């Protein structure tokens, strides 16, 4: 589904990602782990096309997307829930969702029922301003906005960061239900190993912008945790 090959990326003079190669298969949830600042968000932005690759390739469903703009990647079925949510504060909840539909592959004019059904509490908030929602409600909105376009690949950048435990449980349930109902591929940046293990199949650890370790999440042992993840 997604194949990143020898990717190099960065900001201005600084090179952040070096020679990153990873894969996400259909139906698989892959977790991107690593300490703060190692380049996890940079990798997500590079897959979404918000940051241009300086070297290497990003392929999706066998097509080379490396030079494609973010909008085109979204139309091809890549959904993105960015770190910090990036809700439009002045727009209503429903208008925020319509922006997700803009990215859709088809011509849907209404938010698909299966997307809003993942976080049904949002239905009663359609008329509220995005900026007036709590952090947890905004995260649910960002999630449904991405799901509205019926993505085949979902990029989730720290969806549980700063979110109350009950909504973290909801997010865990939604990720599991997406996995059980569809072949959607998921690439998840996550700080909590417990959360990663509860939804993920495979992991990559980034260290200084490069892949330092990878394996099945079940095989993630204390030595790897101490070496690459303990702060």
Ligand X SMILES: Nc1ncnc2c1ncn2[C@@H]1O[C@H](COP(=O)(O)OP(=O)(O)OP(=O)(O)O)[C@@H](O)[C@H]1O
What is the C-alpha radius of gyration for the chain, rounded to an integer number of angstroms?
Answer: 17
- The stretch near ligand X (CB under 6 A) out of 1-9, 34-42, 115-123, 142-150 is 34-42
Residues 61-120 that bind ligand X (CB under 6 A): 83
If one asks whether residue 144 binds ligand X (CB under 6 A), the answer comes out as: no
- Residue corresponding to tokens 């998921």: 186
- Taking the CB of residue 91, how many other CB atoms lie within 10 A of it? 15
Based on CB atoms, which residue is closest to ligand X, 151 or 209?
A: 209
Dihedrals φ, ψ of 127, to 5°? -85, -5
Laid out side by side, the sheet with 78-81 consists of 78-81, 153-157, 185-189, 29-33, 202-207, 210-216
CB of 12 to ligand X, least distance (A): 6
CB of 154 to ligand X, least distance (A): 17
To ligand X, the closest distance from the beta carbon of 27 in angstroms equals 25
The least distance separating ligand X from the CB of residue 34, rounded to whole angstroms, comes to 6
Q: Which of 10, 8, 44 is nearest to 190 (CA)?
A: 44
Binding segment toward ligand X, per CB under 6 A, in 35-43, 91-99, 129-137, 212-220: 35-43
Closer Cβ to ligand X, 34 or 112, answer by number? 34
CB 56 within 8 A of CB 4: yes
User: Applying CB under 6 A, which of residues 22, 24, 33, 34 lies at the interface with ligand X?
Assistant: 34
Would you give the distance in Å from CA 74 to the centre of its chain? 12
d(CA 204, CA 34): 8
| Region from 38-46, 63-71, 105-113, 128-136 binding ligand X, contact rule CB under 6 A | 38-46
Which CB, 24 or 38, lies closer to ligand X?
Answer: 38
Residue whose CB is less far from ligand X, 117 or 225: 225
Residue 106: DSSP 8-state: S
As given in the structure block, the two tokens for residue 226 are: 């101490």
Binding residues for ligand X, total number by CB under 6 A: 11
SS3 225: helix
Report the residue from 9, 41, 137, 138 that binds ligand X according to the rule CB under 6 A.
41
Q: Per rule CB under 6 A, is residue 11 in the interface with ligand X? A: yes
- Which token pair is 69? 């703009």
For ligand X, the binding residues (CB under 6 A) are: 11, 16, 34, 36-42, 83
């Amino acid at each position: 589904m997604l194949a990143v090959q020898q990717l190099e990326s960065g900001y201005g003079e600084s090179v952040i990602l070096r020679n990153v190669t990873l894969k996400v298969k259909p139906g698989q949830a892959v977790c991107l782990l690593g300490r703060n600042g190692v380049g996890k968000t940079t990798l997500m932005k590079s897959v979404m096309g918000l940051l241009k690759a300086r070297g290497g390739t990003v392929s999706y469903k066998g097509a080379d997307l490396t030079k494609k703009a973010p909008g085109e990647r979204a139309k091809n079925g890549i959904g993105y829930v960015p770190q910090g949510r990036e809700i439009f504060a002045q727009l209503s909840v429903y208008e925020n969702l319509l922006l997700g539909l803009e990215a859709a592959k088809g011509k849907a004019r209404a938010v698909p029922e299966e997307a809003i059904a993942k976080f049904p509490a949002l239905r009663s908030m359609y008329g509220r301003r995005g900026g007036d929602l709590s952090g947890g409600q905004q995260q649910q909105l960002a999630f449904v906005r991405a799901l509205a376009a019926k993505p085949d690949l979902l990029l989730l950048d720290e969806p549980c960061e700063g979110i109350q435990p009950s909504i973290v449980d909801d997010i865990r349930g939604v990720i599991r239900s997406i996995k059980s109902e569809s072949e959607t591929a998921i690439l998840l940046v996550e700080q909590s190993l417990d959360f990663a293990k509860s939804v993920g199949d495979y992991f990559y650890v980034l260290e200084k912008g490069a892949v330092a370790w990878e394996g099945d999440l079940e095989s993630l042992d204390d030595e790897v945790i101490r070496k690459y993840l303990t702060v």
